[in-house]
Structure 1
Amino acid sequence: MKRIIVLLAIAAMIAVSAVPGFAGDKEVKLAYVEWDCSVATTNVAKAVLQERLGYEVEILPVAASAMWQAVASGDVDAMVSAWLPITHSDYYKRFDKDVENVGYNVKGAKLGWAVPTYVDVDSIADLNKYADKFDDEVIGIDPGAGIMRVSENALEEYNLDKFELIEGSGATMTAALKNAIKNKEWIIVTAWTPHWMFGKWDLKYLKDPKKVLGEEEHIDNIVRKDLKNDMPEVYNFLKNFKWKSAKQLQTVMAWNQEDGADRYENAVRFIKENKEQVDGWLSK
C-alpha cells in the first residue's frame, strides 16, 4: 500500500508540473527511470533536441509505472525506456491504446541474474545448494522495475525458498557487486544488458532453463498520442532515434561512470563525435 501511495504521489507531481505540448511549442518533456541505460539514452535524446533542434527539454526521473502513466496521460511527451516485449508487457497492455510505439532504439537487450565468473555455479536451477554462500540473497533494484517482478517469479518457479530478493536501486546493486568482487565473495545480482558493469567486471549470466526471466528484448521509444500532429519534428526524431548497437550505448554508459562525469555533457560529446549518425536521426 505504501508503494502504491508513493507511485501515485509521483504521478501527481508530474501531472501538476507538466503541460502537454501543442503545435509551435519548443518545450519537450521526457520521462525516464534511473537505470543507467535509460539515463544515457534519455540524455542523448535531450541533447539532440536541444543542441540540434533548439527545444527546451525537461527530463523527469520516475518509477517505471509512473513513466508509462505519464506518457499515456499526455503529461509528458515521450520516453525512450520501454523494455519489450516481456519486461514492460503489463504496462504496454494497459496503456497501448493511449500511447504510440514509434520503434526500438536498441536491440539485444536482456534480463537475467548475474554472478562474478569466479562463482562456481552456472544455473539458477542449482542455487538452492549454495544458498549460504550467497547469504540467502539475490540483490535487486527498485521495486517498480520489471526485472524485480520476473525475479519474484523465478524464486517461485525454481523453488528457491531459501532466498530473499533484496530491494534497492541500480546504484546500491552495483555497489554491493563492487564490494563482493573486491573481497572475492559470492553474490547474485539482478542484471540486464546493456549495462556498463559487464565492461567493468568479469560477469556471467546464470542459465535460466525455464526462461522465467525472458529472452532477448528491445528497448523502444514510446510517445503520447497526437505528438505527430503537435510536434512533427520531435516525432520524426524519436521515430528515427536508434543506437547502432548495445555496445555503442554501453560506451556512453561507461563515460557516465567516470569520476566527476556529467551525463548531459557526455551526451553532447556523443552527438558531436557521431554527427553523421545524428544527421540520420533528423532526416525525414
Structure 2
Amino acid sequence: MHTTAQKKFRIFGRLTALATAAGLALTACGGETADTGSGEGGDEINIAINHGWEEGIAVAELWSLILEDEGYTVNKSYMDLAPSFSALATGDMDFNMNIWQPVTHAEYLEEYGDDLEQVGVWNSDANQVIAVHEDAPFDSLDELADHADLFESRLVGIEPGAGLTERTEQYVIPEYGLEDWDFRTSSTPAMLQEVATATENGDPIAVTLWRPHWAFNTYDIKALEDPQEALGQEENMTIYARAGFSEDQPEIFEWLSDFEIDTERLQDLEVVLFEEEVEQDQYEEVIRAWMEENQDWVDSLTA
C-alpha cells in the first residue's frame, strides 16, 4: 500500500500542475461570462473548482459530464479560493460546488456573498479536523500539547489562505496551547505527501484535514476530538452561483438545487479518482465507469 501511495502522490502533484495550467489557459482566453440562452442545453457553462479540495473536484467533474450529456458545453477552471469567489462575483464563473458554510468560508461569503446566489446544500456531514497517526496514545486535541515531543512540536497545514488554516491559527492554536508549535503551511498535496511518507515510515504526524476525505480510507490516521469546538461543528457543503444564474439557467439551477450525495457514495467516488493512479486526462474515463455502476442514481439527478 505504501509504495502505491508514493506513486499516487507523485501523480497527484502532476495533476495539480495540469489543473493549474488549465485554469490559466481559460483565464487567458478572456474569462468571459458564460453565454446564456434557453436553459435547455447548448449553452456554455463555466465551473470553478478549488485546488486540493477533493470532494469538490469529484462532484464538479461528475457534474461536468452530466451537463455535457445534457447538451451543455462545459469549461472547468481550477483555481484558489479567493480567485474563485471573485470570479463568481464578477460573473466570469457560473458556479462553485464546494463552498463550506457556516464556518470555513465565512470570511469569503461575508466579502462576496451579496453578489452570489446560494443554490443548494449537497452534503451536511462535513467537518474540519486535526488528524494524527492511528496509534497515537490519545484521542483528543486537548492532549496534543502534552505530546509535543512526540511530534517535535510540528503541525502540518494546507494552503496559507484556506479557511481551515485561518481557523487553526485563530482558534485551535490558542485554545489548545499550541503557540510554541511550528505550524507549517504550503499546500494540500504537500500535506498529503507528508502523511504518506510518515505513515509509510511509521513516524508520528499531525496535520490539518477535513472529512469526508479519502485519506482516512487510505492511511492509518485518525481525527482528534475537538471538545472546545475550535474547528466548529459539522458544516454544509454548498453550491454557490453568480448573481442571475437561476434566471439564466433555470434547468441547471433546479438540478443543482436538488442535488444530494451521501458521504459513503461521495467517498466511493473520491477513491476512484484519488486512491488509484489516475491522471487528470483519465478523469472522464474512470468517472463514466463509476456512473455506469451508479446509473439509476445518476439518472435521478436530472429526472
TM-score (norm 1): 0.89
Q: 2:143 aligned with 1:126, yes or no? A: yes
Among 76, 87, 93, the alignment partner of 1:70 is 87
Match of 1:46 in 2: 64
Match of 1:224 in 2: 242
Q: 2:31 aligned with 1:17, yes or no? A: yes
- In 2, Cα distance between the equivalents of 1:97 and 1:163? 38
Change (3 A) 1:132 1:16: farther
Q: Percent identity?
A: 28
- Output one character per residue of 1:169-213: Cα deviation in whole Å (capped at 9) or x when no partner: 221111111111111111101111111011112322112121111
- In 1, Cα distance between the equivalents of 2:95 and 2:120? 12
Larger deviation: 272-281 or 181-190?
A: 272-281
Change (3 A) 1:242 1:14: farther
Show the 5 A alignment for 1:28-47: 28-34=45-51, 35-47=53-65
Match of 1:5 in 2: none
- In 2, Cα distance between the equivalents of 1:194 and 1:104? 15
1:118 deviation in Å?
0.6
- In 2, Cα distance between the equivalents of 1:100 and 1:269? 32
Letter in 2 for 1:18: E
- In 1, Cα distance between the equivalents of 2:59 and 2:215? 17
Cα RMSD (Å)? 1.9
Show the 5 A alignment for 1:272-283: 272-283=292-303
Unaligned runs of 5+ in 1: 1-9
TM-score (norm 2): 0.84
Larger deviation: 80-89 or 122-131?
A: 122-131
Match of 2:76 in 1: 59
- The alignment covers a number of residue pairs equal to 271
Change (3 A) 1:16 1:157: farther
Match of 1:7 in 2: none
Is the 2:34–2:44 Cα contact (8 Å) retained in structure 1?
A: no
1:13 deviation in Å?
4.0
Show the 5 A alignment for 1:62-141: 62-141=79-158
Letter in 2 for 1:276: D
- In 2, Cα distance between the equivalents of 1:42 and 1:277? 16
Larger deviation: 93-102 or 272-281?
A: 272-281
- In 2, Cα distance between the equivalents of 1:266 and 1:162? 45
Unaligned runs of 5+ in 2: 1-23
Match of 2:285 in 1: 265
Match of 1:234 in 2: 252
Match of 1:6 in 2: none
